[in-house]
Structure 1
Amino acid sequence: MRKPNKPKTELGTLRIIGGRHRGRKLQFPVLEGVRPTPDRVRETLFNWLTAHLPGARCLDLFAGSGAIGLEAISRDATEVWFVDSAPAVVDTLKSHLKTLREDNAQIFLDDAIAWLKKHRPDVPFDIVFLDPPFYKGWLTDACKLLESNGFLKSGSHIYIEAESSLSTLPLPPNWHVIRQKQAGQVQYSLCIRD
């Protein structure tokens, strides 16, 4: 008896826009809540981070398509940790790293909030990319846990993508917005920790 065919997962395409993998196109599973940061927004973000990225340890929470973390690797981040709860996303990220011949990453299959609660890094991260699914309220918990559980140090940068309808970002008092823009329904900010 033939097994029924598994439904195929729809695929989207992202393009790495800078660094040693510039122009490389990669596919990712189109799942609910997975929306790669648009090229124009990524270009702005990485212009903001140009001086801080080479040699940086980065954390890409709610990694989704992996566009931001892969861009960081392409632009000479020393190490990137990816966290996502979707097995298809994690498998795809592993495949991308193999394709790009990059071994300076760790990938965790876990809910990002649960992962933040149970992990304590030996060394704080220089840059954190924080792009949770919109309208779920997870940004507040993520910011609190990043601050309280040793993920950051003085001078760490935190990039936040959030729905533009969010009037105030839920930042700890020692985080300060240094850059901010809006593109359609998305606001994006770069913060620095005292």
Structure 2
Amino acid sequence: MSNHQRQSVRIIGGKWKGRKIIFSEQIGIRPTGNRIRETLFSWLHRDLSNARCLDLFSGSGALGMEALSRGAETVKFIERDKEAALSIAKSLSNFEKESSSGEVVCADANEWIQKNEETFDIVFIDPPFNEDSIYKICHEVEETALAKKLIYLEWHSEIESSLLPKKWDLLKHKKSGSVFFALCLKC
């Protein structure tokens, strides 16, 4: 790792509960907090078993690793920062000694979306808060048919259902501190 200070976040449920994800503190990496993850994964508990998940803008990898810990079949992590991507890969390697159900791709999420041909049961969209618009990303995800069923959104301002793709229903939404988060269903 570089000169960045090392930080950690704990897995809060599942087979890896209590394990630490180590990452370097960098501008823009903002792991999803414990309360938010607890709420999100209580929303998803019926849908996680054997799910294929995509963690866009992975950062620390906390959302994807929490999903794997709680029963997701696979998670693809997309992270543009090479050091962050290496940290995610190292954590996965430490957690899964024999096999890996996680794949880390070091790429810009916006560019990767355009080139991808896979589909996923659950897509986590948690871009840096300095990104132009979460709605632009949502529409790109819809246009490329990435998401088959559920989409999780995390943003610094309220998520407006009228700005989401027409085929997405806003199922649940909450605010925790200055973070707004929501779960959408693709119809």
The TM-score bracket by the shorter chain reads over 0.9
Matching residue of 2:109: 112
Question: Number of residue pairs matched?
Answer: 184
For residue 167 of structure 1, report the CA deviation from its aligned partner.
5.9
Matching residue of 2:160: 168
8 A Cα contact 2:154 2:179, kept in partner: yes
Distance in 2 (CA, whole Å) between partners of 1:167 and 1:141 is 13
Match of 2:144 among 139, 145, 149: 149
Matching residue of 1:3: none
Matching residue of 2:183: 190
Match of 1:181 among 161, 165, 174: 174
For residue 76 of structure 1, report the CA deviation from its aligned partner.
0.9
8 A Cα contact 2:8 2:20, kept in partner: yes
Match of 1:85 among 58, 80, 87: 80
Aligned residue identity for 2:176: A
Distance in 2 (CA, whole Å) between partners of 1:7 and 1:126 is 35
For residue 8 of structure 1, report the CA deviation from its aligned partner.
1.6
For residue 71 of structure 1, report the CA deviation from its aligned partner.
0.2
Matching residue of 1:16: 11
Runs of 4+ deviating beyond 4 Å: none
Q: Structure 1, residues 107-152: CA drift from partner, whole Å, max 9, x if none? A: 111110011011111xx21100000011322412211111111212
Matching residue of 1:137: 132
The percent of aligned pairs where both chains have the same amino acid is 38
Give structure 2 stretches of 5+ with no counterpart.
none
8 A Cα contact 2:121 2:147, kept in partner: yes
Q: TM-score, normalised by structure 2?
A: 0.94
Matching residue of 2:71: 76
For residue 12 of structure 1, report the CA deviation from its aligned partner.
1.1
For residue 181 of structure 1, report the CA deviation from its aligned partner.
0.4
Aligned residue identity for 1:191: C
For residue 159 of structure 1, report the CA deviation from its aligned partner.
0.4
For residue 7 of structure 1, report the CA deviation from its aligned partner.
5.7
Distance in 2 (CA, whole Å) between partners of 1:103 and 1:136 is 30
Distance in 1 (CA, whole Å) between partners of 2:4 and 2:177 is 27
Q: What is the RMSD computed on CA atoms of the aligned residues? A: 1.4
8 A Cα contact 2:54 2:120, kept in partner: yes
8 A Cα contact 1:113 1:141, kept in partner: no
Distance in 2 (CA, whole Å) between partners of 1:10 and 1:57 is 32
Q: Structure 1, residues 41-85: CA drift from partner, whole Å, max 9, x if none? A: 100000000000010000000000100000000011000000011
